Amino acid sequence: MNRASFTDLLFKCIVIAVASAVIILSAIYFYFLITGSALTLQDGFSFVLTSTWNTISNVYGVYPELWGSLVTSAIALCIGVPISIGVAVFLSEISTGAIRSAFSFLVEMLAAVPSVVYGLWGLFVFSPFLDAYIYPSIERYVGYLPLFSCPANFSPCSFAPVSVLTAGIILAIMIIPIVSAISRDALLAVPSSQREAAYALGATKSEAINMSVMSYARSGIIAAIFLGFARAFGETMAVVMLIGNAFVVSSSLFGPGYTLASLIANEFSEASSPANLSALIEAGLVLLAVSFTASFLGRFMIRRFIRGREASSYA
Amino acid sequence: MRPRRFIYDRLYFAFTFAAVAIAVVPLVAILGDVAYKGFAAINVDFFTKLPPPPCFLGSKCAPGGMGDAIQGTLLLVAQSSAIGIPIGIVSGIYVTQYGERNWYGSSIRFLGDVLAGIPSIVTGVLVYELVVIPLHGYSVIAGSVALGSIMIPIVSNTSAEALSAVPNSLREASHALGVRNWRIALLMVRVAKRSIATACLLAIARITGETAPLLLSAGISELWYAGQGHPIASLTYYIFYYATSPYNNWKTLAWGSALILIVIVMGINLAVRVATRTKKFYS
């Protein structure tokens, strides 16, 4: 082997070794979170079905937190997904030129706002606004539903600045950029023959979108929802500041709650025993497993169904 | 065209426009509130002094600022970029230069996308286990490792994207001239340097706003930088810490820190936007 091809080989080996960082990193996440939580992992599924978090008797379960994470993510998706799809349709089907690029930029900027700033703004501006103007009317008209009942039993109902619903609404705003960007990419990847076929049948623009564009882009939009869920499920700072951090499963969305991510953020620095630390790492493992799965499925569907340009990779 | 279908069409457009308005209003509100409330906290002390003690009602308030947090954020971002950017770019080189068509390259790309979607607090948990526990406490180095490992998949994928946008004809021309593979790889980096720089800047903007991993890695301190093994303050941690405190002077400083943070992050994003619009990378 001559010198030049040796240099080539050496360079290739170095590049491969460094590039393996991404693969190794993924493996490290699972390996160390599993080994780090060995103490509590041996109890199996009772961890996600128990509602006790007792650092003295060392009984740990994250049922309320898992529930809280799922409920806040569900609220975020219920509010955020229709808005995101509307945004995606506007950006890909309706607007053109300068309007399209200006609004694309503005929506993308929502993703650039740090999550702790969402928390700050939510706590001091948005939550007081909701408590004063929005929640009282929700409670008045649909308060007979347990979901929207008053958290405390007195009248007139007073709303705390922190609640599951407030956290969910902030999360809805936070997932709009990623869900709308990926849905937009899915819509833009629809070949124009699909639209033309619908127009040829006499469809109006909205009928063409509903009939042929949406059905073609459906998998991409579902992928976007998966990624939005992963984002909402693992979001920490905005939620820890807005959800109230109470170890309860409250029936009302106006009440406080807890999520896996905010549990980790609050409790980690006070971990008092190996079992406590192991339980917190296991909470991280649950968070990792759920969001990794959602992110994996979302990315897989994008790979599979959105051809052509790569979907925007900002998270 | 029957009127009902026509009206439905209009309503449909109105809905999409309303969706855009709903998405943009929070952005405008956040930027406006942060600018308005944050501006009140900004003065020379804010950049040069250490945080003040809490100010109780009626007592005299000592002046103070977020100097240590600004220092800490800059240091953490610089150190984590030193970890994340080289590894990310080299990984991007592999993906485009050697792994374009093999399973290893495409799984690096795919896992990079998946990793970008996992919560950053999980990175904090990992770093706590691997760095904080062995070093017996929060430290600058732990914070840098946490932010750096968040950067790796982001930079890897965006620089791979930048590199694969280089026209193949350049690559083929180099091969035809008998240029060695490794020199071609570096040549492609040089051709795509503008968009790689853009990718790195966006990754820097992203980690500047990270808070959750810092809770479990860099910790917080009310002093200036004291060495790699000591905890360090950061703007984001201070926003969280002060916003949830009961003291008004601390809350004001939280808004001020949010303003500085937004100016950095939005500034990078706007600059990148303007730079990519005015000049085509390859023409």
Amino acid making up residue B183: R
Q: Is residue A255 within 8 Å of residue A164, measured between CB atoms?
A: yes
Query: Is B36 an 8 Å CB contact of chain A?
Result: no
Identify which of A32, A123, A124 has the shortest CB distance to residue B126: A32
What is the residue range of B89's domain?
Answer: 70-234
Q: Is the dihedral of CA A92, A98, A104, A107 positive or negative?
A: negative
Q: Is residue B180 part of a domain?
A: yes
Residue numbers in A near B105 (CB within 8 A) = 19
Which B residues 45-64 touch A at CB under 8 Å?
none
Structure tokens at B203: 């990754």
Query: Is B83 an 8 Å CB contact of chain A?
Result: no
Q: What is the pLDDT at residue B58?
A: 65
A156: pLDDT strictly greater than 80: no
Which residues are registered as beta bridge partners of A54?
A59
Burial label for B185, CB within 10 Å (0-12, 13-18, 19+), is buried
A309: pLDDT strictly greater than 60: no
A305: pLDDT strictly greater than 80: no
Helices and strands (DSSP H and E) totals, chain B: 12, 0
pLDDT, tens digit (0-9, with 9 covering 90-100), for B89-128: 999 999 998 887 888 988 999 999 999 888 999 999 999 9
Q: Is residue B114 part of a domain?
A: yes
Query: Is A12 an 8 Å CB contact of chain B?
Result: yes
Q: In the predicted model, what is the mean pLDDT of chain B?
A: 89
Q: Which of B244, B265, B246 is closest to B201 using CA atoms?
A: B265
Q: What is the pLDDT at residue A311?
A: 42
Q: What is the pLDDT at residue B249?
A: 86
Q: pLDDT-based confidence at A306, cuts 50/70/90?
A: low
Q: What is the pLDDT at residue B283?
A: 35
CA distance A223 to B184: 36
Identify which of B97, B115, B240 has the shortest CB distance to residue A237: B240
Residue numbers in A near B94 (CB within 8 A) = 15-16, 18-19
Q: What is the pLDDT at residue A42?
A: 83
Q: Which of A274, A289, A297 is closest to A66 using CA atoms?
A: A289
Structure tokens at A172: 């809805």
ipTM higher than threshold 0.90: yes
Residues constituting chain B: 283
Place of tokens 């309303």: B18
Suggest the residue from B126, B150, B237 to mutate for an interface test with chain A (most A CBs closer than 10 A): B126
Residue numbers in B near A303 (CB within 8 A) = 110
Identify which of A16, A120, A180 has the shortest CB distance to residue B243: A120
CA distance B229 to B250: 27
Residue of B nearest to A37 (CA): B129
Once rounded to an integer, what is the mean pLDDT over residues B252-281? 84
Identify which of B8, B99, B215 has the shortest CB distance to residue A206: B8
DSSP 8-state code for residue B134: T
Residue of B nearest to A34 (CA): B126
Q: Which of B131, B158, B155, B129 is closest to B143 using CA atoms?
A: B131
Query: Is A39 an 8 Å CB contact of chain B?
Result: no
Q: Is residue A118 within 8 Å of residue A237, measured between CB atoms?
A: yes
Query: Is A110 an 8 Å CB contact of chain B?
Result: yes
Task: Determine phi and psi for A265, rounding to 5 degrees.
Answer: -60, -40
Q: Which of B131, B153, B151 is closest to B142 using CA atoms?
A: B131
Q: Is residue B162 part of a domain?
A: yes
Residue numbers in B near A94 (CB within 8 A) = 13, 16-17
Q: What is the DSSP string of B37-84?
A: HHHTT-SHHHHHSPPPPP--TTSPPPP---HHHHHHHHHHHHHHHHHH
Q: Is residue B50 part of a domain?
A: no
Alpha carbon separation from B132 to A284, B74, B123, B229 (Å, rounded): 16, 21, 12, 10
Q: Which of A2, A1, A13, A12 is closest to B185 using CA atoms?
A: A12
Suggest the residue from B9, B91, B121 to mutate for an interface test with chain A (most A CBs closer than 10 A): B121
pLDDT, tens digit (0-9, with 9 covering 90-100), for A210-243: 888 998 899 999 999 999 999 999 999 999 999 9
Amino acid making up residue A278: S
Contact A281 B98 (CB under 8 A): no
| Total domains, chain B | 1
Q: Is residue B252 within 8 Å of residue B41, measured between CB atoms?
A: yes
Q: Is residue B155 part of a domain?
A: yes
Suggest the residue from A79, A229, A237 to mutate for an interface test with chain B (most B CBs closer than 10 A): A237
A313: pLDDT strictly greater than 70: no
Residue of B nearest to A236 (CA): B212
A34: pLDDT strictly greater than 70: yes
Query: Is B129 an 8 Å CB contact of chain A?
Result: yes
pLDDT, tens digit (0-9, with 9 covering 90-100), for A158-181: 777 788 999 999 999 999 999 999
A139: pLDDT strictly greater than 90: no
Does a cis peptide bond (omega within 30 degrees of 0) precede residue A274? no
DSSP 8-state code for residue B209: T
CA angle B128, B134, B137 (to 5 degrees): 65
Once rounded to an integer, what is the mean pLDDT over residues B21-44? 92
Identify which of A90, A116, A287 has the shortest CB distance to residue B119: A287
Contact A112 B129 (CB under 8 A): no
Q: Is residue B1 part of a domain?
A: no
Contact A8 B181 (CB under 8 A): yes
Burial label for B279, CB within 10 Å (0-12, 13-18, 19+), is exposed
Q: What is the pTM of this model?
A: 0.91
Q: What is the pLDDT at residue A314?
A: 37
CA distance B205 to B65: 23
Contact A114 B261 (CB under 8 A): yes
Set out the domains of chain A in order of their start, with CATH numbers: 37-305 (1.10.3720.10)
Q: Which of A169, A287, A180 is closest to B117 using CA atoms?
A: A287
Residues constituting chain A: 315
Q: Is the dihedral of CA B80, B83, B89, B91 positive or negative?
A: negative
Q: Is the dihedral of CA B62, B63, B67, B69 positive or negative?
A: positive
Q: Is residue B41 part of a domain?
A: no
Once rounded to an integer, what is the mean pLDDT over residues A43-62? 84
Query: Is B103 an 8 Å CB contact of chain A?
Result: no
CATH number where B120 lies: 1.10.3720.10
Q: pLDDT-based confidence at A303, cuts 50/70/90?
A: confident
